[in-house]
Structure 1
Amino acid sequence: MPTADAGVHPHRRPPSSPSCARTGSYIAALLLATACPGGDASTTDEPTTTTLVTTSPTTTATPTTDAAPTTSTSTTDAAPTTSTSTTSTTGDAPTTTGFDPSTTLPETSASTTGDEPPPSVALALITDDNRAYVEMHGGWGPHLRGLMRAPDDSLWFHVDAGEDVYHNRTIRYFRRGAGEPAWSLVAEQPHTDGVQQNAASVLVGSTILTYGVNVQQHFLEECYLDTADPSIHACNAVLVSGQVYTTPPSSNYVGAAVLGPGARVVWFTVVGDNGGPGQWLYTYNFGGGWNGPVQVDLGGANDLGYVHAMATPGGQPTLVGQTFTGKYPDGTYAAVVADVTLGQVPAFLSLEPPDPAALVRSGADLYHDAAGDTHVLATFDGAVAYYHRPAGAGWAGHTAPLHVFADTYRARFARPAGDRLWLIRGSAGGLGVQLLRAPSPDSGPVDWAAAEVVEVPEAGPGFGAPSAIYVESPTYQAGLAGALEFAICGSYQVGDRSIWHGRLE
């Protein structure tokens, strides 16, 4: 499949090489995109180095699988048959949804249990100028940004901007105040010259912190913006022990998560040369400066990317991500999980596929509930699998899927304050977006087959198969989520220049 058709972001060679692209290994027309690493650089730090051990224990667990409903009122997780939306990957110019950005769509069809009136989902456009190109779909890297709730209860969201796939020039900050019907662009600031891929944002106090890898000047960039006064903003190189931290050659796949009040962790991968072994590095800050970095050898894997992470109540991150081993395109993928004790090297375990023939694609999301249980999602061919680990347990013995969501390309967790765990899933085949509410507030594995289902109204062409789902989550902020909030980006070259905000009402 040509790169232009696939929507693939060039990845494994320096930006000067136009042939660096993954082609044809992901789900057709809904491919995960990647980014080219930078060129040579030297490092000024002496990071800890230890070899990673990856195992995959045997299990006999049998996951439940969705059954396709015959109407849109089923309470099981399945793609409704009443949708007529389609996904297209033809044409050179992305299209917008055709809706007035200043209006909302306060309608929904829903399926519920009991006698209560069905909930509704209101949609509001965040932007119709999202960063999207022929080489990279606009939903690339949904783990990098979420809806962030400032202390004044306003919601914030950042969007990247640049003239082509090799240049991420500007951070654009959108805001929707409490009680306001629409989103507005309230500030912009330039990245340092040399940032290529999309950046990762978190909210600490009232400040949005955004991280990117500068692949030309070879440093980790931190940008800040004060939500209380958006005129206060700047971008600078990250200092470790008082010195600018120099990123190693071929650094890529940045990510960030909140660890607690004032604390955060940032990570990236170092892609191995010519398909060789790579590394994963992280640095962490409790508010007084950056520690590390800690360097992890990947046990022969070429890289570790698309990392979803969330801190436990004790402030230690747990993650799920994607490894690639070998020389592209002849290598293999794995979805891996790990607990990180800050300052130390984690050990990774591979998640098992729903069946031996399923091809693992990537981690999809991770959530810790109030009881300390860990819930994980991983992507396979046209489906997403659900995993659960009890509080206090190790990963060994808990790497088998318990439920499979058929016809699913994206899926994310969300937990509003005082509510149960929700899952937002987007169809891989154009059948729309659903919200699934866990049937019980109790801890333990979720019986998703018994979940309440709410159908989300389609925002326009391309939103029957979204390329990204963004959520309000403890990954991106220390405070609790408010109502059930999420955002969606449309499919490649159809709706991926637009991002819509959804709120359950």
Structure 2
Amino acid sequence: MTLAAAGLRPPRETLAGLAAGACLAVGLTACPAGDAGTTDTPTTTTTTATAPPSTSADTTTTTSTTTTAAPTTTSDGPDATTTGTATTDTSTTSTTGTEPPPNVALTLITDDNRAYVEMHGGWGPHLRGLMRAPDGSLWFHVDAGEDVLHNRTIRYFRRGPDEPAWSLVAEQPHTDGVQQNAASILVGSMLYTYGVNIQQQFLEECYLDTADPALRACNAVLVSGNVYTTPPSSNYVGAAVLGPGARVVWFTVVGAGGGPGQWIYTYNYGGGWNGPVQVDLGGANDLGYVHAMATPGGELALVGQTFTGNYPDGSYAAVVADVTMGQVPKYMSLEPPDPAAQVQSGADLFHDPAGDTHVLAYFDDVVAYYHRPAGAAWDTHTSPLHVFADTYRARFARPAGAPLWLIRGSLSGQGVELLRAPAPGGPVAWADAEVLEVASPGPGFAAPSAIYVESPTYQQGQAGALEFAVCGQYQVGDRSIWHGRLD
């Protein structure tokens, strides 16, 4: 079955240098969309930075960064972000006098990431993260297939607590008919991966026991004891951990001919799958690229991207919602930082232990930050509080007991940086954040196409440390994914 026959259409993450007409001509569902900065000259970068003043109790303000890659030869210029006044400095100092400067160590996860001309290797960063198993090991999955139309295999990578490198520990085939990238979460020791089988029309669940990787299989999801048949044009899968033993999976149904679509979710508290719950989108054609996280009360807070119209002619919106399992949510559109700015996608969401919700959305080469206090409704908190210029990817991370961090990737080739919030709780004053620059492991990583994080979205509990991963720039470094750890 061709994708056109299945009623599917390209994702909207266009890349510079890849003509939209070429994507449409071949009818791909994974044509990228959104400028990923492919016009910058590939460089290999080593940088150090002095951070702007911070109000955090931790007063370390500078860092030097290291990488396991080969020695580098060039240096990027200063970053054009609105977050502060970071300047390039070759010194390393600490105002505490005793605490050593933090160090970001980079380790290769894989150089065989799924990437094609029609789909960059960083497509769908919301679908997978670094996942910490009960034994302290980190896990990460990579999709594999011969072309953009076929996702054939799940490849499982592991790094133990005391291991210096990542290793490929297992592979297993998807059921025949999965095309899009799949979504993974870790519940207990069990790593679950979900995809939409567009040929056989079912929701696929694959599992692997991280305590014994030989225990693995892929099957169709059963709802009330029967194989759940996905509607035609089902696409854009996603998954999140709801709590101990509990998980939720969702996908969208793209409306035919630009007509109204649906968002569908099913949830499992450990005894079987419930629902599915079908949600009308108020005339929107679909809801995709959903970043979501469970709240302590068992709800799901989310940000996603709707499209209204007959693709590619239509309009986008970044929307937020709170989903009570078994019920139909209401969506609220976020305001752009500039009335003329075009929404590209939701970029991330974090629901913190205090009950506040932090959201990122991508608009015309910038990422905007939103905040909703605990117990408040979204309708009075849809205006952006901060704008990160020159940004394509940005993700939240919060190690247990630490302030919120933001990992930001430049659009123009200025590199990756870590921003630490001045203090935990409330809306973050990102202009006062400590900024740590990350050395590039090689060409293409000064403008990454994806950032992955360790997060309660993908596992039970908070992150154990500041862990993240980056995928390189389209057709330059997007077959490689590197793991970063703040030591």
Deviations 1:398-456 (A, max 9, x none): 00000001111000000011211100000011000000001012x21000000011111
Q: What TM-score comes out, normalization by structure 2 length?
A: 0.85
SS of residue in 2 equivalent to 1:449: helix
Q: Say yes or no: does 1:448 pair with 2:456.
A: no
Q: Specify whether residues 111 and 414 from structure 1 end up closer, same or farther in structure 2 by C-alpha distance, changes over 3 A only.
A: farther
CA distance in 2, matches of 1:302, 1:209: 29
Q: How does 1:255-266 map to 2 (within 5 A)?
A: 255-266=238-249
CA distance in 2, matches of 1:9, 1:254: 25
Contact persistence 1:472–1:485 (CA under 8 A): yes
| Residue in structure 2 matching 1:285, options 260, 268, 281 | 268
- Fraction of identical pairs, as percent: 77
CA distance in 2, matches of 1:117, 1:109: 13
CA distance in 1, matches of 2:288, 2:317: 11
Letter in 1 for 2:461: G
Shift of 1:6: 2.4
SS of residue in 2 equivalent to 1:396: helix
CA distance in 2, matches of 1:218, 1:11: 24
Deviations 1:22-41 (A, max 9, x none): 9896226569xxxxxxxxxx
Letter in 2 for 1:6: L
Match of 1:378 in 2: 361
| Residue in structure 1 matching 2:170, options 187, 191, 201 | 187
CA distance in 1, matches of 2:91, 2:260: 49
Q: How does 1:358-397 map to 2 (within 5 A)?
A: 358-397=341-380
Match of 2:44 in 1: none
SS of residue in 2 equivalent to 1:420: coil
Match of 2:52 in 1: 75
CA distance in 2, matches of 1:488, 1:286: 32
Letter in 1 for 2:241: V
Letter in 2 for 1:83: D
SS of residue in 1 equivalent to 2:310: coil
Letter in 1 for 2:430: W
Letter in 1 for 2:366: A
Contact persistence 1:353–1:380 (CA under 8 A): yes
CA distance in 1, matches of 2:182, 2:22: 16
CA distance in 2, matches of 1:143, 1:475: 9
Q: Say yes or no: does 1:224 pair with 2:217.
A: no
SS of residue in 2 equivalent to 1:6: coil
Shift of 1:275: 1.1
Q: Specify whether residues 218 and 170 from structure 1 end up closer, same or farther in structure 2 by C-alpha distance, changes over 3 A only.
A: same
Contact persistence 2:37–2:412 (CA under 8 A): no
Contact persistence 1:85–1:464 (CA under 8 A): no
Letter in 1 for 2:256: D
Contact persistence 2:23–2:118 (CA under 8 A): no
Letter in 1 for 2:137: S
Q: Say yes or no: does 1:294 pair with 2:277.
A: yes
CA distance in 2, matches of 1:422, 1:392: 23
Shift of 1:18: 2.3
Match of 1:44 in 2: none
Q: Say yes or no: does 1:481 pair with 2:448.
A: no
Q: Specify whether residues 220 and 368 from structure 1 end up closer, same or farther in structure 2 by C-alpha distance, changes over 3 A only.
A: same
CA distance in 2, matches of 1:472, 1:25: 25
Deviations 1:347-400 (A, max 9, x none): 000000011121111111111111100000000111100000000001011000
Shift of 1:152: 0.3
Shift of 1:118: 2.1
Q: How does 1:109-120 map to 2 (within 5 A)?
A: 115=97, 116-120=99-103
Contact persistence 1:85–1:430 (CA under 8 A): no
Contact persistence 1:8–1:137 (CA under 8 A): no
Contact persistence 1:5–1:29 (CA under 8 A): no
CA distance in 2, matches of 1:179, 1:193: 37
Contact persistence 1:161–1:168 (CA under 8 A): yes
Contact persistence 1:3–1:21 (CA under 8 A): no
CA distance in 1, matches of 2:134, 2:36: 42
CA distance in 2, matches of 1:418, 1:114: 20
Q: What TM-score comes out, normalization by structure 1 length?
A: 0.82
Contact persistence 2:36–2:392 (CA under 8 A): no
Match of 2:137 in 1: 154
SS of residue in 2 equivalent to 1:274: helix
Contact persistence 2:15–2:37 (CA under 8 A): no
CA distance in 2, matches of 1:472, 1:417: 11
Q: Specify whether residues 152 and 332 from structure 1 end up closer, same or farther in structure 2 by C-alpha distance, changes over 3 A only.
A: same
Q: Specify whether residues 173 and 83 from structure 1 end up closer, same or farther in structure 2 by C-alpha distance, changes over 3 A only.
A: same
Shift of 1:9: 12
Q: Say yes or no: does 1:426 pair with 2:438.
A: no
SS of residue in 1 equivalent to 2:379: coil
| Residue in structure 2 matching 1:470, options 442, 452, 455 | 452
Letter in 2 for 1:407: D
SS of residue in 2 equivalent to 1:143: helix
Contact persistence 2:29–2:180 (CA under 8 A): no
Shift of 1:110: 7.4
Q: Specify whether residues 163 and 176 from structure 1 end up closer, same or farther in structure 2 by C-alpha distance, changes over 3 A only.
A: same
Shift of 1:5: 3.7
Q: Say yes or no: does 1:503 pair with 2:485.
A: yes
Match of 2:422 in 1: 439
Q: Specify whether residues 9 and 486 from structure 1 end up closer, same or farther in structure 2 by C-alpha distance, changes over 3 A only.
A: farther
Match of 2:4 in 1: none
Shift of 1:74: 4.0
Report how many residues are paired.
438
Contact persistence 1:7–1:29 (CA under 8 A): no
Q: Say yes or no: does 1:206 pair with 2:189.
A: yes
Deviations 1:301-352 (A, max 9, x none): 1110000000001111010000011112211111000000110100000000
Contact persistence 1:111–1:454 (CA under 8 A): no
Q: How does 1:340-351 map to 2 (within 5 A)?
A: 340-351=323-334
Q: Could you tell me which runs of 5 or more consecutive residues in structure 1 were left unpaired when the two chains were aligned.
A: 32-70, 87-107
Q: Specify whether residues 130 and 23 from structure 1 end up closer, same or farther in structure 2 by C-alpha distance, changes over 3 A only.
A: closer
Letter in 2 for 1:124: T
Shift of 1:75: 2.1
CA distance in 2, matches of 1:350, 1:343: 22
